[in-house]
Amino acid sequence: MTDVFVAPKKGRNFNDVGFLSSFCKDPKGVHFQTQKTNEVIILFLRSHFVVNISWIIFSLLLLLLPILVLTLLSNFGLDFLSSPISNRFITMFTLFYYLMLFSYVFISFLHWFYNVFIVTSERIVDIDYSDIVIHNIAVTSLTHVQDVNYTQSGFIPTFFNYGDLFVQTAGNEKNFEAMSIPKPREATHIIGDLTGKGPSVGSG
């Protein structure tokens, strides 16, 4: 994704996309590599930010873990902790530990940030980020969409208003999924209006 301005068509109000935005209708400043000259992005989606809470809390616990362990060991009065060799080992191990923790946080954030679902005036683009150097892009024309529906179940998804969007395509083409997106009902209606396929809702 690059921050390139998309010229608005007359009569359409475009909206700024925040750094952490998960839902934006008629986004401004969003572009993807294979976008055509006259192709307009209608909807920009990624998973609701609340889905990151689990790995953020886990990371905070891991962040405090070395301090807790060293404090407990010191309280036991272990003499080996005061030796120069032990100090060097503890320092190197701690640095390595936090480097791995930073890598985990960085990759977890990128996985959320770059997994996006885009609906344009001509097609649907699903960008799946699975690694620092690996990402998959799936594309289908709006004319190939057979059905669009969503599911929203459970207290947390209902409270934060997010759910899973499913787009069924014709023939042997891949079906598209946008998981844990905000406002799934509205997104489903937008795609339904573009394709002429009425949305449906399910629960699990």
Please, what is the Cα angle at 128 between 59 and 96, to 5 degrees?
30
Kind plus residue range of the DSSP H or E element containing 187 = helix 184-195
Mean of the pLDDT values across residues 106-126?
A: 93
Q: What's the pLDDT score for residue 42?
A: 94
Mean of the pLDDT values across residues 196-204?
A: 59
pLDDT in tens, 45-96: 999 999 999 999 999 999 999 888 877 777 766 555 566 667 788 888 889 9
- Nearest alpha-carbon partner for 187 in 30, 32, 46: 46
- Nearest alpha-carbon partner for 165 in 140, 186, 184, 190: 184
Q: What's the pLDDT score for residue 7?
A: 42
Q: Which residue has the higher pLDDT, 114 or 203?
A: 114
Q: What's the pLDDT score for residue 198?
A: 60
pLDDT in tens, 5-55: 334 444 556 788 888 899 999 998 888 888 888 899 999 999 999 999 999
Using CA atoms in the order 162, 144, 122, 174, what is the torsion angle rounded to 10 degrees? 60
- Nearest alpha-carbon partner for 190 in 159, 138, 150, 152: 150
15-47+115-202 belongs to which CATH class? mainly beta
pLDDT in tens, 139-178: 999 999 999 999 999 999 999 999 999 999 987 778 899 9
Q: Which runs of consecutive H residues, i.e. helices, occur in 34-162?
A: 53-75, 84-114, 155-160
User: Residue ranges per domain, the chain?
Assistant: 15-47+115-202, 53-110
The sign of the dihedral angle between the CA atoms of 159, 162, 164, 165 is positive
